[in-house]
Structure 1
């Protein structure tokens, strides 16, 4: 087993090196045709190549990188392609600047953009190949992990099992059991990976202790104690080990830098997106002749009410304020396109300029939703410790139909781990939302329900025992 894990790491490392070398070779190989100095050892060549390597590695780290084995192939393609395109644009701009000299161009010229487009197309094709080939090789070596799901109810199973089933190459659900079942420890013992979902905190702690003792992989959903631990650190009082959690708030310097970032980013973004916003306004007006913008009261820091600006995506006569559902007939045809690509939220850049919102922060919720969510989750009000944001961890990692609790957890994790660097990472990661538009804008629907079916579990257990016996006969047992 140890040799297999070591082999996987080695293969993934080799594939990473081969992929990056291919991207590097395509860029400098093609641009070197018109710029032969790139093939010579010089300070200029070194600076250009170092820019590509350092920026490429940094952006790939921000976007998740070549995560074969843990991510599906399509998200890997999205993240790697986005990181590579930005790296290409910056390095090509630097290349054009360096060619502004007496020997080449006496003034700045953005050189050969058609070659840049060719480079990007070839690189994306290479990324697609490495993403799918890498996952194919990885899962040819590594069989799915044998998993058990431990939960408290069939309704809870309906929330977690569909998520696990999306990763069939990584996980194979062998057994499903209630946390208080008599055989729960036996089920854990014969599984590789344990999913704990909606298990009461005390019982969850006991089960995690047992999983740790048995060296099992563990997944469990966040509770408030887990959110608090995100912002905690290890300290010693004399010789006593303790966990310290300090109450979080932005320092004066952080507030100043964040506000300056908000102003500069929103001004630049308004200028760059003005053609898109003009096209949106024309399309909305042309469809039904109604108002272009829509204002709605939302909550921001400390519960202050403000009016958020959005492009109107619903029929103007519909004044019902409630979350969008699947096949919602209130949405216009233009509105569906705007919502799919999150373009309807661009006018919120004006809210950022006014100071009502920030670029990165929790999503501003409707007043009706805040009251409803707080009744069910009293911790929901904790997210009002910071300004509402245009983008954030919940907006990037979640969807429209992500549960309020999961969104809350993401918002609180952002607050507990706040830093300027984290804001910059989330701003860059926001671009991935446009690449997964169809997934991130799914509306609220009905969750699947799974039952604790004893007959089904007996069949799964029988199949498990047959497989174990076959492995032992073949000499591959643990």
Structure 2
């Protein structure tokens, strides 16, 4: 079998979810067997028999929201995290389901056993599916085409990917069309990044389409504009309407209702954690429990964001506003923990209830930095067309230290692709980054390596055409 021929498409992904849901139901049955040592009381098992179809459906929805079977940039460790978290959420869902359905004879002890049994068995199953994914897709060779600095950034990012599914083998830095024609047959994907003259870019598009070659393009603003267009017909005239960077009013109203309901529930559920955090902060260092800071949200409105204080009271008295750095000495002992676990963000649920923020959206920045970013990128204000969020696309898929332009691209993509289902998916996947130390780091202020040195390093493993 030619491993480059097949793709891990939606049909295969759906099949994997269905099979895993059957395995999950089997794990619950096994948990009953272990708990009762084979002698399962009929009254207890009948509650499971009456509710298993809803458990089946719930499992599929939970794993869809977590993106468990989206493997393109996952490691085996990621698979373990997603399996464990999906099982934890599934057991909570079953508790709520059996209560709502009056299946009260469903033993909670079985769910405790299932948390461990299901995580173990499904982790093995998911790893096997992951290995199948690798076998089907194979490693994709990439030709990066573009200006030196953007091409270097692309090569660096591909080299940092966790599972090495994509490997840059060739880089073109000039005479783009000529070299693409020469090298296209040696790669699986051509990635265009940075500025390429329009005439050459269109010729490259045409050439690759005729060759049926997969094409990646970067998230430059002109490309972002064309995401999620509206197609209209006027008699014989077909027109593409470019959608704006905003959430439709009816979706925005539903989003606000969900924000209020979910924030109320989360505030109640996390109240013990917040009380414990408040006591720990008070014991650890002098000063207030909460920290207020001016931020900017929808319509460039200024508001005070609420956080648990993680720094000393005099953190910026001398330096003025600065971005958080790796190994920041201003952070207290308790602050390090609540930052790494995102507990410091919990008071922002009150900002959501007040209407200054949403659960999901672009992270709000301080006015000092917003003015700087607006000067450097004229499209920065587009992110203020929606409410700022506690979490967002950039927080789930980027890193804490990702530069503001890359975060802006994530934010604009989020606005263009907005849906309530996408919001829930990001909320679920936010749980995973609590275990990801890379996502919690500040801006790394280590000595920078020159671009020339980096190109020299990459030249050992890829073909660079200048």
Partner of 1:161: 155
The verdict on how the C-alpha distance between 1:368 and 1:37 changes in structure 2, with shifts beyond 3 A counting, is same
Equivalent pair of 2:141/2:189 in contact (CA under 8 Å): yes
Per the TM alignment, residue 358 of structure 1 is displaced from its structure 2 partner at its CA by 1.9
Per the TM alignment, residue 277 of structure 1 is displaced from its structure 2 partner at its CA by 1.1
Partner of 1:19: 20
CA distance in 2, matches of 1:455, 1:259: 49
Per the TM alignment, residue 35 of structure 1 is displaced from its structure 2 partner at its CA by 4.9
Equivalent pair of 1:150/1:195 in contact (CA under 8 Å): yes
CA distance in 2, matches of 1:374, 1:403: 14
Query: Is residue 226 from structure 1 mapped to residue 223 from structure 2 by the alignment?
Result: yes
CA distance in 2, matches of 1:442, 1:299: 23
Partner of 1:428: 428
What SS is found at the alignment partner of 1:150? strand
Per the TM alignment, residue 254 of structure 1 is displaced from its structure 2 partner at its CA by 3.8
CA distance in 2, matches of 1:86, 1:74: 18
Partner residue of 1:189 out of 185, 190, 195: 185
Q: Which runs of 5+ in 1 are unaligned?
A: 101-107, 463-478
What SS is found at the alignment partner of 2:271? helix
Alignment of 1:318-397 (within 5 A): 318-319=315-316, 320-397=320-397
What SS is found at the alignment partner of 1:309? strand
Partner residue of 1:36 out of 31, 39, 42: 42
The verdict on how the C-alpha distance between 1:324 and 1:88 changes in structure 2, with shifts beyond 3 A counting, is same
Partner of 2:411: 411
CA distance in 2, matches of 1:248, 1:141: 37
Q: Which moved more, 1:392-401 or 1:246-255?
A: 246-255
The verdict on how the C-alpha distance between 1:213 and 1:450 changes in structure 2, with shifts beyond 3 A counting, is farther
Partner of 1:175: 170
Per the TM alignment, residue 336 of structure 1 is displaced from its structure 2 partner at its CA by 1.4
CA distance in 2, matches of 1:333, 1:372: 31
Per the TM alignment, residue 374 of structure 1 is displaced from its structure 2 partner at its CA by 0.9
CA distance in 2, matches of 1:254, 1:330: 41
* TM-score computed with the length of structure 1 as normaliser: 0.83
CA distance in 1, matches of 2:291, 2:174: 47
The verdict on how the C-alpha distance between 1:39 and 1:311 changes in structure 2, with shifts beyond 3 A counting, is closer
Q: Which runs of 5+ in 2 are unaligned?
A: none
Partner of 1:440: 439
CA distance in 2, matches of 1:459, 1:294: 48
What SS is found at the alignment partner of 2:315? coil
Partner of 1:79: 82
CA distance in 1, matches of 2:458, 2:384: 45
The verdict on how the C-alpha distance between 1:206 and 1:59 changes in structure 2, with shifts beyond 3 A counting, is farther
The verdict on how the C-alpha distance between 1:448 and 1:378 changes in structure 2, with shifts beyond 3 A counting, is same
Equivalent pair of 1:77/1:127 in contact (CA under 8 Å): no
Partner residue of 1:53 out of 56, 79, 83: 56
Deviations 1:93-124 (A, max 9, x none): 43356566xxxxxxx67x54332121011111
What SS is found at the alignment partner of 2:171? strand
RMSD over equivalenced CA pairs, Å:
3.2
What is the total number of aligned residue pairs between the two structures?
Answer: 449
Equivalent pair of 1:359/1:390 in contact (CA under 8 Å): yes
Per the TM alignment, residue 364 of structure 1 is displaced from its structure 2 partner at its CA by 0.7
Partner residue of 1:296 out of 279, 293, 299: 293
CA distance in 1, matches of 2:170, 2:299: 45
Partner of 2:110: 115
Partner residue of 1:134 out of 122, 129, 135: 129
Equivalent pair of 2:28/2:110 in contact (CA under 8 Å): no
Partner of 1:241: 238
The verdict on how the C-alpha distance between 1:119 and 1:97 changes in structure 2, with shifts beyond 3 A counting, is same
* TM-score computed with the length of structure 2 as normaliser: 0.85
The verdict on how the C-alpha distance between 1:17 and 1:261 changes in structure 2, with shifts beyond 3 A counting, is closer
CA distance in 2, matches of 1:168, 1:301: 37
Equivalent pair of 1:27/1:88 in contact (CA under 8 Å): no
CA distance in 1, matches of 2:458, 2:363: 42
Per the TM alignment, residue 152 of structure 1 is displaced from its structure 2 partner at its CA by 0.8
Partner of 1:62: 65
The verdict on how the C-alpha distance between 1:461 and 1:264 changes in structure 2, with shifts beyond 3 A counting, is closer
What SS is found at the alignment partner of 1:183? helix
Identify the structure with bigger relative contact order (alpha carbons < 8 Å, sequence gap 6+): 2
Equivalent pair of 1:303/1:384 in contact (CA under 8 Å): yes
CA distance in 2, matches of 1:293, 1:162: 39
Q: Which moved more, 1:315-324 or 1:26-35?
A: 26-35
Deviations 1:347-383 (A, max 9, x none): 1112122222222221110112111111111100011
What SS is found at the alignment partner of 2:219? coil
